[in-house]
Amino acid sequence: MNPRWLFIICLIVSFLPSSRAAQSSREVEAERNIQVAKQAQVQGDYAQAVASYQAAVKLMPDVPELYGNLGIAYYLQKDYDKAIAAFQQALKKKPALEGPNLYLGMAYIRTGRFAESIKPLQKALSLNPKIREAYINLSASYNEVGKSEEAVQVLQRAEKFLPDDEEILYSLGTLYYDLMMKSYRKMAEVAPNSYRYDQVLGKSYEERQEFSNAVIEYKLALQANPKAPGLHYALGNVYWLSGHYDEAKPEFEAELRIAPEDYMSIWKLGNIYLHNREYDKALPILQKAIQKHPSLGLAYRDLGQLYMQTNDYQSAAKVLQKVERMDPTEPQPHYLLAATYRHLGDTAGAKAELEEFQKLSKANMERRRPSDAILKGADEQKENLQPIGQDEPDAQ
């Protein structure tokens, strides 16, 4: 049982006189039934909670919060039609109740009445713009009734109020993925022989690390349209990811003939030269990548490594310090700086950087999965959004 449920229930008590002597016998009996209902709900005895709230409502029929709590009990009992009726009664008496609006919207969803759920969920958010479940379920309802643009907007708004909420981020990512797949399926229907369709298939294989299949699809796309921006980079990137640098290099060069501004092709070309220890070629290319994209930390990192490998440790330290500032949570720059400081004779600095590297590496190891694994197997996700958080919504 979510502890915040009890907050809703306890609100009822505040409407009763604080002095038992001042209470009528009806109020005393109503309060007794409320306490019994609260306890039953905590214990999961929803039938008893319903019966006790019904008794309290009969004794105090003018208290809208009682109807709201009766509706919650019905909702937990999965008797959604009766829950809807109770919430409607509560809102008829007092429209600005957060909990009944939220639960009414979710009860409508439970009964497949998605269009009807939109208004009460919107009302709940107008009363409290930080209700996670209202955003998630409102977005799902919009998506179910074919209003995908509104569904996205709801979750984008939610992200502003709840930027670190994993359920909001998951729902937004799932919705984006769902819309992407709809677009790709339509592409497959209207243009199955298009180079873009081959490109999409190549990207799908690439994300699953099926690199040989990705190469086939990207090559088919290039045969159909050899001058399309992005295709040579895509093919080169698959080669680069799989360690086939000799095959990757001409693809990045071909991409730059089509799109000279493509800083990723520039950086990866420089990275290949660095890997091959062709420092005189790597240096100007990495510098160019940084010029094209001053916040590309990976290019700075490679430049720092280049300076290390050519024994220019003063320059390496300056560049790697910049990389460290750009992303303080990334372990590798700290390791490279530790090695650089050792060569410069800065024992204390080397020790501090190595300790930071070990701390950040341990933190990364303790994560359940790497962030770059999020797209692998993405095609196995469910295609349709489903409302979540409906069994025990976190409402006030």
Q: Does the pLDDT value for residue 316 go beyond 90?
A: yes
Give me the residue spans of the domains in the chain.
Answer: 1-94, 95-179, 281-366
CATH number of 95-179: 1.25.40.10
Average the pLDDT over 293-300 and give the result: 94
Q: To the nearest whole number, what is the mean pLDDT of the chain?
A: 86
The model's confidence at residue 2, banded by pLDDT at 50, 70 and 90, is very low
Give the list of residues 6+ apart from residue 307 with CB closer than 8 angstroms, or none.
313, 315, 316, 319
Q: What is the pLDDT of residue 248?
A: 97
Alpha helices (H) along the chain: 3-13, 25-42, 46-59, 64-76, 80-93, 98-110, 114-127, 132-144, 148-161, 166-190, 195-207, 211-224, 231-241, 245-258, 263-275, 279-292, 297-309, 313-326, 331-344, 347-366
C-alpha to C-alpha distance for 20 and 5, rounded to whole angstroms: 25
The CATH class that applies to domain 1-94 reads mainly alpha
Q: Does domain 281-366 have CATH number 1.25.40.10?
A: yes
**Residue 317 and residue 337 in contact, taking contact as beta carbons nearer than 8 Å:** yes
Residues 6+ apart with CB under 8 A from 251: 232, 233, 235, 236, 239
Residue-wise pLDDT for 10-54, tens only, equals 333 333 444 444 457 888 999 999 999 999 999 999 999 999 999
Integer distance in angstroms from the first to the last C-alpha of the chain?
14
Report the pLDDT averaged over residues 264-275.
97
pLDDT at residue number 210: 94
Distances (CA, A) of 242 to 145, 200, 329, 393: 43, 19, 26, 45
When mean pLDDT is compared across 135-144, 171-180, 318-327, the lowest value belongs to: 171-180
* Opening angle at CA 258, ends 257 and 264, nearest 5: 85
pLDDT value of position 367: 61
Is there a contact between 140 and 178 (Cβ–Cβ < 8 Å)? no
Say which residue, 239 or 183, is predicted with more confidence. 239
Tell me the pLDDT tens digit for each residue of 356-381.
999 998 887 776 444 443 333 333 33
pTM of the model: 0.62
Q: Nearest-5° angle of CA 33, CA 34, CA 35?
A: 90
- Candidates 343, 296, 340; CA nearest to 321 is 340
* 223-258 residue pLDDT tens: 999 999 999 999 999 999 999 999 999 999 999 999
Residue 382's pLDDT is 30
What is the spatial distance between Cα 344 and Cα 292, in angstroms, rounded to a whole number?
31
The predicted pLDDT at position 23 comes to 57
Lowest mean pLDDT among 81-85, 178-182, 193-197, 200-204: 178-182
